[in-house]
Chains A and B, each alone.
Chain A
Amino acid sequence: MATRLKEVDVVIVGLGWTGGILAKELAEAGLKVVALERGGLRLPQSDFTVPQVRDEIRYVIRHDLMMDTQKDTLTIRNNVSQEALPMRRLGSFLPGDTVGGSGVHWSGHTWRWTDMEFKVRSRYEERYGKKYLPEDMTIQDWGITYDELEPYYEKFERVAAVSGKAGNLRGKIVPGGNPFEAPRANEYPLPPLTPLLAQEMFREAAAANGYHPFPRPSANASRPYTNPDGAKYGACQYCGHCQRFGCEANAKGSALISVIPIAMRNPNFELRTHAWATKVLKDPGAKRVTGVAYTNVLNGDEFEQPASIVLLCAYAINNVHLMLLSGIGEAYDPVTQKGVIGKNYCYQTGASATLFFEGKHFNPFMNAGGSSTTIDDFNANWQFDRSKHGYVGGFIVAGAFNTSLPIGYRPVPAGTPAWGTEWKAATAKWYDTAMQINMSGSVMANRYNYFDLDPTYRNAFGLPLMRMTFDYKPNEHRIGEHAAQVINDLAKSMKPTHLNPAVARTGPWTVVPYQSTHNTGGTIMGTDPRTSAVNKYLQSWDAHNLFVVGANVFPHNSTYNPTGPVGALAYWTADAIKNKYVKNPGLLV
């Protein structure tokens, strides 16, 4: 029998970036806030110290900071005719565990998504005509605008210590930045990171080919920095252990060293670790929720935490899972296209070429998570005519290094044997003398890419696993083909000794190898309760005191990394709760 606890103002499920931001903001607004975090607490000063933190086997290979698929996982399939089977081990994506969430082990790439995403359907229909969009492409406008979000982007960039170079300041194009970005009110809080040789070579080649290269904005502090809340960042050491690692230098933007410790010093806030939320409790008589049921995973004790406001701030996939487990809102059905919970799951697509340059030294062990020089000519550039290639969306291309450690990164020319002296010779020769050009491509929503509850498999709590049905569609294949061509043309112009060209993906999405932890959708935002799960304030249409915060609200996936809008939307939601909802509880739209 669950123990019923004393009611609080706010209960938060998951304490990563979004939970941390909301915990700090709402506790400071005088609300009593409790956060339930399924993992434990790891502190940089004790858990991310040199030399132990520099361990590729522990952190990269054995996933020390990631979710444990023994306790909970998903089932996966490419289409509705397949039987979904459990993702028995992590592979394609790596959601985090412990306080700080995936924001502990990310690389820090922080973009501003713009009206090109937020008004995606209306913009494409306006420019290319209604018939241009495939019938099963269920993209829709988000119900929010870039102008509304701009101050919140800035707030997040300052909190997270983003290094970068503005390309558009209040409408004026600024040299050195991304000329295709939307207008910014102010510069980045920190100057760009020091570029690597690979970035400089890519920049020269991209410019010579008529593109517009710029340093990718990233939450890796390029110099020591104190953020507006007083949180102190060290300078990035280009240690080469960024993605999948905690940061020993406190240089990577993380809730664990910014908003969370500030919230924890506030007496209005309480953190409960090892607290695994199993259900959001509903008030059967009203359109509201009453709290969260959870289990203490250290001893199995069950609790109910009543609260006036419930915030789901877990990883995007887990927020959707909890909504489905709790029966809030109508589950999406791809056949009838009725229901909204689970709808529009999206992912991203990628490809890369490896360029081998005899005699060059790239020092692949010296880089920041954000060591990337990028072009946005095929994404944010709205002048780029998609109709020539027949797709919706786009891609960014970069010359970059990130966490190129020797178990995972050992480039050799195609055709090299996989073992023996020849393999060793090639591995020794090319480790330091190769670089990559990679791309990240958008994925548009499709009627048949969605989440629901699995009919067969269960997690450690006896609850149904979430089922993911996903595959790339012809739209994504066309993006991949075009991107591979752009990469290979650029690569050839750099005259490498050898080139392993980029190859466009043609087969199905696979659960291995690692691809991207940019899973979006499932409880999407919008203007209409019939086609969206939450409104522009991330407030559930079905329970006005429930807010679902994270990339799960994105109606489709851009080419960019998602954390910029995830952080901005968390601040936006915090303001809506503080300034609007608390004064007059009810639907804000």
Chain B
Amino acid sequence: MKEDAFDRRAFLKSAVAGGAAAAAGTLPKSAEAQGTAPTKTPAQESPPPTYSFLNPDEAAFIEALVDHMVPADQYSPKGTDLGLNLYIDRALASGWGKGDRTYMQGPWRPGVPSQGYQLPLTPAALYRSGIAAANAACAKTYGRRFDKLDPAQREEFMQGMRSGKVVFEGGPPSRAFFATVYQNVMEGMFGDPMYGGNRGKAGWKMIGFPGVIAVHYQNVEKFRGKKYSVEPVSISDMS
């Protein structure tokens, strides 16, 4: 079994590994059939993004990526309308982006995959170098930077980063970069909206997560085996 060097929780939890393709093609229909509330937001106006870390080229890359990963459909508005780009920008500008809680002393060695993250880069530095390297790789392969690719090229390039097939010359490993971006997109989509993502609690509505009000002493019996439908409540809703 091959082991990734980098945080694989997102991948593991979304079970992308191995196995025959399930009946994924039929899923949208059955999801509707079982009553998943479609979260159509007709032409919802997003506030213009104000970035504190990403430069315009980097922002264009992230916007293109989150909109490809989270397209507008019957399940939710698209990534930028959910604020996933803003979530990432704020995370990179925060202590986390600057290496908070990360041991940053050398010497630096690649190590073996089981030893985890060993790059001499804070998350912010990983994004900065990773986006530049990704755009350079896109230019080399497609003659255009990532945000100018067509959807099929974008898909191909993202799969290439995910598997590590795309090589970032002189940059960080593409797979390490992409694993971090992927994890951050999931955080933005399903974390509390106060961090900039999950706008309108659309990520929570998509799956039926009720948010922060969780007094279920009686519900645990009353709703055992039954659907529990409520309007989700976020931290700022209660603050």
Contacts and interface: CB of A to CB of B under 8 A. Distances in A.
Given A407-B187, A506-B1, A513 B9 contact: yes
B20 interface: yes
Interface string A82-106: 1101111111000000000000000
Given A241-B214, A421-B75, A51 B239 contact: yes
Contact of B27 (A360, A418, A422, A510): A422
Contact of B206 (A416, A427, A508): A427
A69 B191 contact: no
Main secondary structure of the interface of A (DSSP, over half): loop
Contacts of B116: 87-89, 91, 510-512
A490 B67 CA distance: 41
A363 interface: yes
A68 B101 contact: yes
Nearest to A66: B101
Contacts of A86: 103, 105
B238 interface: yes
B191 A457 contact: no
A421 B103 contact: no
Nearest to B225: A197
B71 interface: yes
A108 interface: no
A121 interface: no
B191 A57 contact: yes
A353 to B, nearest CB: 11
Contacts of B208: 428, 431-432
Contacts of A425: 24, 27-28, 31, 75
Contacts of B19: 413-415, 500
A360 to B, nearest CB: 7
A427 B207 contact: yes
A575 to B, nearest CB: 37
B22 A416 contact: yes
Given A89-B117, A361-B226, A69 B102 contact: yes
Interface string B198-239: 000001101111111111110111011111100001110111
B13 interface: yes
B115 interface: yes
Nearest to B106: A457
Main secondary structure of the interface of B (DSSP, over half): loop
B36 A428 contact: yes
Interface residues of A, number: 89
A431 B37 CA distance: 13
B53 to A, nearest CB: 17
A359 interface: yes
A484 B20 CA distance: 19
B43 interface: no
B15 A361 contact: no
Contacts of A129: none
Contacts of B50: none
Among A68, A78, A89, A358, max chain B CB count under 10 A is at A89
Given A69-B103, A421-B73, A61 B187 contact: yes
Contact of A70 (B24, B68, B104): B104
Nearest to B69: A419
Contact of B14 (A78, A412, A510): A412
B13 A411 contact: yes
Contact of B216 (A91, A366, A421, A510): A366
A212 B34 CA distance: 35
Nearest to B105: A457
A512 B207 contact: no
B25 interface: yes
Contacts of B224: 196-197, 200, 363
A236 interface: yes
B100 A427 contact: no
Contact of B102 (A70, A240, A458, A508): A70
A299 interface: no
A77 B115 contact: yes
Interface string B1-18: 111101111011111111
In the A-B complex, the 4 residue pairs with the closest CB atoms: A414-B19, A54-B212, A239-B214, A413-B22
19 contacts: A70-B99, A70-B103, A76-B115, A77-B115, A85-B118, A88-B102, A89-B101, A194-B221, A240-B216, A365-B228, A407-B191, A408-B13, A410-B186, A414-B16, A416-B14, A424-B76, A428-B36, A432-B207, A512-B4
